[in-house]
Amino acid sequence: MSEHEKPLKWLREHEGEWRWAADYLVEALGPEHIKSLAPNPSTRLETYESVVSVIRKLQRERPELVFRLQGTIRQRRYRSDSNGRKPLTFTLSNETITKLTSLARRHKVSEATLITALITQEGEALETQKNYEKQLKTAVALERKNGQQRAAFLTAQLDEALKHLERCLELVARWELMWPDDKPPTASDDDIKKRVEPRMKELKDALAYIAFRDTLTTERPMP
């Protein structure tokens, strides 16, 4: 690669910028003039290197043209969609413009930069609010579901206790039907306790199992 064909720092080879520069030069100088400047007249400005070679020659012969080309390229980049910015025109009241200008000067930024920052902050605030509302809705739904599960758990425990109570009442009723005129034989507190304890243990085990089952099915909030 010759010295004339080395890349220019201000002219990009990618995104087709050099092709646009070639069209600009052809329109400004004419095909015949370009043909006399191009390193290979047969190919003209069909490569990045050939465009660079012509520009380097014009820097000596027509520096004002190269200067205008550089300015036009900068303006084109600024207006390009790939730059992430587009011109937008809207009308504001004089009072709003005064406040905008004052705020921009206070923060030492341009009005456009200030408007962009305000819109960005508002967007972030709205996103935060949406996320909060979503988390709150999820928490409420989870709490409602856990409440329903808790109610079902207490109902299951109550049903189990009533089942054991019903069994005891059936035994009492059976005794009364078989021996309606008799009274239960006298027994010591220890003997009664020995008979009650296994039945109470059976009831407690059943209730404990229901409680354990409830812990497995109850959802916990995410940390």
Closest CA to 150 of 218, 216, 221: 218
What one-letter code names the amino acid at 223?
Answer: P
Helices (H) then strands (E): counts for the chain: 7, 0
Which pTM value belongs to this model? Answer: 0.39
**Residue 46 in 3-state DSSP?**
coil
Sign, CA torsion 55/60/65/70: positive
Could you tell me the CA-to-CA distances from 129 to 120, 126, 187, 221 in Å, in that order?
A: 14, 5, 71, 20
pLDDT at 77: 78
CA torsion, ordered 203, 205, 206, 211, to nearest 10 deg:
130
DSSP string for residues in 123-157: HHHHHHHHHHHHHHHHHHHHHHHHHHHHHHHHHHH
Please name the residues in contact with 21: beta carbons below 8 A apart, sequence gap of 6 or more.
11, 51, 55, 69, 73
Backbone angles phi, psi at 92, to 5 degrees: -120, 155
Nearest to residue 202, comparing CAs of 167, 154, 155, 176?
A: 167
The tens place of each residue's pLDDT in the chain, 223 residues long, gives 455 557 788 888 877 788 888 888 888 888 778 777 766 654 467 888 888 888 988 888 888 999 998 988 888 877 765 556 666 677 888 898 888 888 888 888 888 888 888 888 888 888 889 999 999 998 888 888 878 887 887 788 778 788 878 888 787 777 777 777 777 667 677 777 777 788 778 878 877 877 777 776 665 555 5
Q: Whose CA is closest to 54, among 74, 71, 33, 70?
A: 33
